[in-house]
């Protein structure tokens, strides 16, 4: 009787009163009733309950991630986990139609039930992303009949979001529909000093003004689930909508340029740059599971097809003198069509009560057809003119065919899984730029292993996975695009994938009154690190190039301490400290090593049974990179939530960066470039949100394609 109790404690180490009802299975799912647990652990992942974080109310998945040790989000919404921004995003076991941070900021926090982090994913999962997978589990209807939920929010920055879902269950059928509409805005004060040296030209510029982001989306989904008996389950869903991702800046720009000591220009201008990424998307998914017998043997088929049509990436830069006359300008257009399709066939054999064998085949195909062209402002002609030599039609295709095998078993106090995956990769780019075509075929192997040991004095787990970062099409494009008039970007069709060995070791212990401790040490070795190298390109102009910069080793430790000092105060202390050593193999980059750290202190207070308050503090330590360094900064959030109508409705108020301490400072330095950039988010940023649900009582059963051991499908690029 002792071992099952210890295994249950191991799987559900968290901040939870002892009288919570928990049901857990290594191989299947996790079910929770009673008070929601803040953190749960499994052999290869940790799960965070989104609803327990008041500071995320009315926000997005990015705000939920802030509670996780080693997650950092900068002023532009870029996300890094353990120092890397390379991760895959899945929603309810399927790949997001969008990528990375863009996918996360389109998911309202009010729709999220749980968020899972897999830092050493098993061989059954896709191999892209050196820091693993972020899996979003959304809220779903509960019980028979009609159920639903809705959320709405607005902020002092003009941000707003509305989302809702309706479910109807009758006998073997469940139909549902959901909608998300949002306009997420961000504003920051921006200041940059930059000096470039090109030949005998020296240019010093000073930019001062405001930068902004604005991401709008309207996405609808309909779905049908059919379960005539315990042996068969069919899921079909259709998703369609549009996203508009904008950013830009309005600056006062001063330029001082000399040649061999002689003054060429000393002028002040008004600078305006704009960026738009428009996507029209549709995605159809279908999953079928056949539970062959009561022993646990299972056969699964999954398929996902996505199409983005009339996608447009548009860049615009403008420079005017103080009298309003145009001085410089560019207009860049990249029109694209995307297709990608994923499928899998999985067979699971339960060869004994605690052990199973799993084997499967998966495929991913991705295609993108488009063209890029640009026009410049011709000052003598006083008009924009197309640059025919920069017109570049392209056709990009990638296929990944994968086979894997896994074994999962339990021997006394030991639990383990191990597997290996083989990826056959076909990578092709045809583009009207001489010498830029890409035709690559290779076979790659990716092993993984996890081990858990459970005792009454604590639980140990160890995990290993080999991963990769394959360059996407935007990193391969060999033509120049514009961030603003004085910042250009170019891809590299000869870039190689990164390969990563990820290893971690964890200890967890639960104590009385819901207190717990988790300590994780991790090690990552990255070869052929893909990085952005910035160099002086023309007088006053820098060029960002994609390169294989070198190798990097990261060694770190994460700490999560959950405490309940009193009945009305819950406190969580998160920390991450890691050492990084970068060895440069590219001209223009320098080797670097050092320490970086992050600390988060989350405090939740129960004022009344229906009223809660939360105060969080976060510190992000300094960091060095291949061309410079980033300074430390801190920020503090304050939140309150009031439940109404017997818990069916809640009102939340969140103030971000209440002490105005968030400042982002980046310095780059090479022999031909010195750049000093400072960004400070606008304040106040206060957000009000309202949530409502009906017929949502009953047990919450956390299954889903990822959590129950089925396959991830697809790939994000």
Integer CA distances (angstroms), 600 to 171, 482, 560, 621, 629, in order: 47, 36, 9, 11, 22
Contacts of 386 (CB under 8 A, 6+ apart): 373, 374, 375
In the 3-class helix/strand/coil scheme, how is 188-223 assigned residue by residue?
EEEEEEEEEEECCEEEEEEEEEEEEEEEEEEEEEEE
| Extents of the domains making up the chain | 2-615+693-702
At residue 347, the pLDDT reads 98
Beta bridge partners of 133: 88, 118
Q: How many CA atoms lie within 13 A of 337 on its CB side?
A: 4
Residue with tokens 């103030």: 655
Q: Is 125 helix (H, G, I), strand (E, B) or coil?
A: coil
Angle at 620 between CA 618 and CA 622, to 5 degrees: 160
Residue with tokens 């997978």: 133
Q: Work out whether the CA dihedral 93, 98, 99, 102 comes out positive or negative.
A: negative
Say how many residues make up the chain: 717
CA 495 to mean position of chain CA atoms: 23
CATH 1.10.10.10 is the classification of domain 2-615+693-702: no
At residue 346, the pLDDT reads 96
Angle at 71 between CA 423 and CA 630, to 5 degrees: 105
**pLDDT tens per residue, range 357-375:** 999 999 999 999 988 888 9
Q: How many CA atoms lie within 13 A of 334 on its CB side?
A: 24
At residue 228, the pLDDT reads 94
At residue 569, the pLDDT reads 95
Where the chain has pLDDT below 50, the residues are 1-34, 697-717
Angle at 655 between CA 651 and CA 659, to 5 degrees: 160
Contacts of 416 (CB under 8 A, 6+ apart): 408, 409, 410, 449, 450, 451, 452
Q: Is 118 helix (H, G, I), strand (E, B) or coil?
A: strand
At residue 575, the pLDDT reads 93
Going through 539-657 in order, the beta strands assigned E by DSSP cover: 541-566, 569-584, 592-608, 611-620, 623-625, 628-630, 633-644, 649-656
> CB of 252 within 8 A of CB of 207?
yes
At 392, list the tokens: 């570049």
At residue 289, the pLDDT reads 96
């Amino acid at each position: 009787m002792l071992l099952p109790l210890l295994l249950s404690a191991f799987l559900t180490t968290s901040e939870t009163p002892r009288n919570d009802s928990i049901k857990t299975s290594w191989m299947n799912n996790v079910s929770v009733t009673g008070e929601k647990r803040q953190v749960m652990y499994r052999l290869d992942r940790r799960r965070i309950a989104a609803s327990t974080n008041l500071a995320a109310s009315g926000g997005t998945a990015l705000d939920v991630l802030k509670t996780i040790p080693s997650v950092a989000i900068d002023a532009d919404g870029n996300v890094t986990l353990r120092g890397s921004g390379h991760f895959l995003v899945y929603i309810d076991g399927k790949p997001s139609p969008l990528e990375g941070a863009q996918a996360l900021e389109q998911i309202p926090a009010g729709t999220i039930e749980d968020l899972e982090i897999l830092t050493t994913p098993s061989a059954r999962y896709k191999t892209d992303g050196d820091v693993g997978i972020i899996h979003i589990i959304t809220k779903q209807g509960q019980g028979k009949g009609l159920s639903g939920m809705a959320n709405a929010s607005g902020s002092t920055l003009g941000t707003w979001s509305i989302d809702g879902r309706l479910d109807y269950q009758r006998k073997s059928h469940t139909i549902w529909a959901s909608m998300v509409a949002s306009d997420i805005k961000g504003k920051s004060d921006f200041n940059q000093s930059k000096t470039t040296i090109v030949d005998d030209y020296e240019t010093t510029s000073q930019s001062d003004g405001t930068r902004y982001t604005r991401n709008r989306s309207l996405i609808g989904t309909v779905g049908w689930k059919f379960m005539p008996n315990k042996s068969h389950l069919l899921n079909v869903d259709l998703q369609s909508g549009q996203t508009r991702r904008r950013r830009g800046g309005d600056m006062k720009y001063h330029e001082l340029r000399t040649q061999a000591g002689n003054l060429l220009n000393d002028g002040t201008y008004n600078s305006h740059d704009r960026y738009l990424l428009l996507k029209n998307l549709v995605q159809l998914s279908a999953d079928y599971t056949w539970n062959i017998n009561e022993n646990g043997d299972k056969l699964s088929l999954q398929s996902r097809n996505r199409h983005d049509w009339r996608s447009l990436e548009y860049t615009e830069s403008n420079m005017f003198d103080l009298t309003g006359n145009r001085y410089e300008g560019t207009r860049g257009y990249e029109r694209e069509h995307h297709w990608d399709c994923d499928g899998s066939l999985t067979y699971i054999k339960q060869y004994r009560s605690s052990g199973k064998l799993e084997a499967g085949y998966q495929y991913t195909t991705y295609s993108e057809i488009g063209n890029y062209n640009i026009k410049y402002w011709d000052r003598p002609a006083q008009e924009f003119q197309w640059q025919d030599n920069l017109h570049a039609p392209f056709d990009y295709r990638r296929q990944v065919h994968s086979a894997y095998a896994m074994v999962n078993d339990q021997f006394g106090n030991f639990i383990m899984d191990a597997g290996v995956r083989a990826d056959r990769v076909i990578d092709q780019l045809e583009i009207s730029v001489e010498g830029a075509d890409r035709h690559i075929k290779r076979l790659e192997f990716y092993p993984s292993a996890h081990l858990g040991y459970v005792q009454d004095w604590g639980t140990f787990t160890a995990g290993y996975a080999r991963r990769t970062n394959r360059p996407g099409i935007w990193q391969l494009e060999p033509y120049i695009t514009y961030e603003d008039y004085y910042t250009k970007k170019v891809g590299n069709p000869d870039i190689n994938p990164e390969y990563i060995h990820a290893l971690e070791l964890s200890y967890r212990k639960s104590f009385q009154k819901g207190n717990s401790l988790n300590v994780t040490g991790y090690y990552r070795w990255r070869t052929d690190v893909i990085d952005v190298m910035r160099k002086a390109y023309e007088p006053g102009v820098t060029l960002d190039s994609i390169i294989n910069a070198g190798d990097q080793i990261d060694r770190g430790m994460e700490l999560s301490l959950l405490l309940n000092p009193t009945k009305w105060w819950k406190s969580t202390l998160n920390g991450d400290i890691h050492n990084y050593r970068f060895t440069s193999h590219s001209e223009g980059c320098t080797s670097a090593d050092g320490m970086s750290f992050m600390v988060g202190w989350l405090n939740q207070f129960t004022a009344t049974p229906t009223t809660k308050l939360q105060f969080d503090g976060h510190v992000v330590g300094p960091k060095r990179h291949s061309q410079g360094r980033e300074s430390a900064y801190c920020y503090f959030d304050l939140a309150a939530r009031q439940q109404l109508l017997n818990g069916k409705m809640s009102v939340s108020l969140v103030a971000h960066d209440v002490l105005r301490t968030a400042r982002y400072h980046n310095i780059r330095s090479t022999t031909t470039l010195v750049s000093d950039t400072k960004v400070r988010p606008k304040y106040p940023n206060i957000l009000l949100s309202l949530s409502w649900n009906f017929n949502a009582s009953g047990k919450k059963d956390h299954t889903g394609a990822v959590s129950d051991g089925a396959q991830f499908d697809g790939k994000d690029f």
